[in-house]
Structure 1
Amino acid sequence: MIIKIAETNKEINDAFYIRKTVFVKEQHVPLSIEMDDYDNEAIHFIGYLNDVPILAGRLRFVNDYGKLERICVLKEHRGKSFGKHVIQKMESTVKRHGYDKAVLNAQEHAIDFYKKLGYHVISKSFIDAGIPHVTMEKHIA
């Protein structure tokens, strides 16, 4: 498994492909919501297994924290710790940019996954793209 910051057009397009597969096709999020203007300013992450893209995420810096967004792993590769590894890569990038806090909006079914990685809930439940979410944060040492 190689997880990296997407730098080439191919890598960025691979990240978009993963996001469209998971969020648009699988979870029925409208494409107009999934792909937004923040994609132009974000740092995109892509993960490859045997040169095949299997996971993606994006990172933006907002106020005093890194905002982890659009984290997804193809269905057939879930449950193998790949999600944990992309989160760690994103957190190290947050730290490298001088921030010590990461924030994300987690789908409610993923709350326990993020809790195991040190995140805690800081909001009430809300609906985003038709899916229940909560905001979670973590202070990065």
Structure 2
Amino acid sequence: MTSYTRHVGSDAAVVEMAHTVRRHVFMEEQGVSEAVEMDGKDDAATHVVLTDDETPVATARLRFVDASTAKIERVAVLSDYRGDGLGDRVMDAAERVAVDRGATDAVLHAQVRVQGFYERVGYTAVGDTFEEADIPHVEMRKRLD
């Protein structure tokens, strides 16, 4: 079993690792424009990155939308690493960081095609489907313990 290293922070090195994964997944695979993906919110966020040796392979970003609600965003796993539980691991790490910083709730905008993944890790859809980056999304929420 591969051992992955977790990096958490907002320093330039962690942000660049997160960008590496996000460029592959969102910009190259999904065709999201750089202007949309690199939205200027990274400096005000905390990033979680999992690496395999020195290679960034999974990431998530979190920001607080109010004193007790963390918004988890930009969750991505490189295609060669999907199916190995890294989505679960990066979500768990992001939620732990959120709880450690006072969050009692998490919210995210899930791409509809992966809504089932978020349901499996405890999120519930709220509201109607909407477009974000020309991709159908749904808002989802979870109470954090």
TM-score, normalising length from structure 1? 0.95
Once the two structures are superposed, what CA deviation does each residue of 1:85-115 show, in whole Å capped at 9, x if it has no partner?
0000000111111111010000001111011
For residue 43 of structure 2, what is the aligned residue in structure 1? 40
Which secondary structure state, in structure 2, belongs to the residue aligned with residue 29 of structure 1? coil
For residue 4 of structure 1, what is the aligned residue in structure 2? 7
Q: Aligned AA for 2:63? A: R
Q: CA deviation at 1:140?
A: 0.8
Query: Does the aligned pair in 1 maintain the 2:15–2:42 contact within 8 Å?
Result: no
For residue 103 of structure 1, what is the aligned residue in structure 2? 107
Structure 2 residue runs without a partner (length 5+): none
Give the Cα separation in 2 of the matches to 1:77 and 1:12: 20
Percent of aligned positions that are identical: 33
RMSD over aligned Cα atoms: 1.1
Structure 1 residue runs without a partner (length 5+): none
Which secondary structure state, in structure 1, belongs to the residue aligned with residue 91 of structure 2? helix
For residue 121 of structure 1, what is the aligned residue in structure 2? 125
Give the Cα separation in 1 of the matches to 2:32 and 2:127: 22
Write out the 4+ residue segments of structure 1 that deviate beyond 4 Å after TM superposition: none
Q: CA deviation at 1:8?
A: 4.3
Q: How does 1:60-71 map to 2 (within 5 A)?
A: 60-63=63-66, 64-71=68-75
Give the Cα separation in 2 of the matches to 1:39 and 1:10: 12
Q: Aligned AA for 1:4? A: H
TM-score, normalising length from structure 2? 0.93
Give the Cα separation in 1 of the matches to 2:15 and 2:95: 19
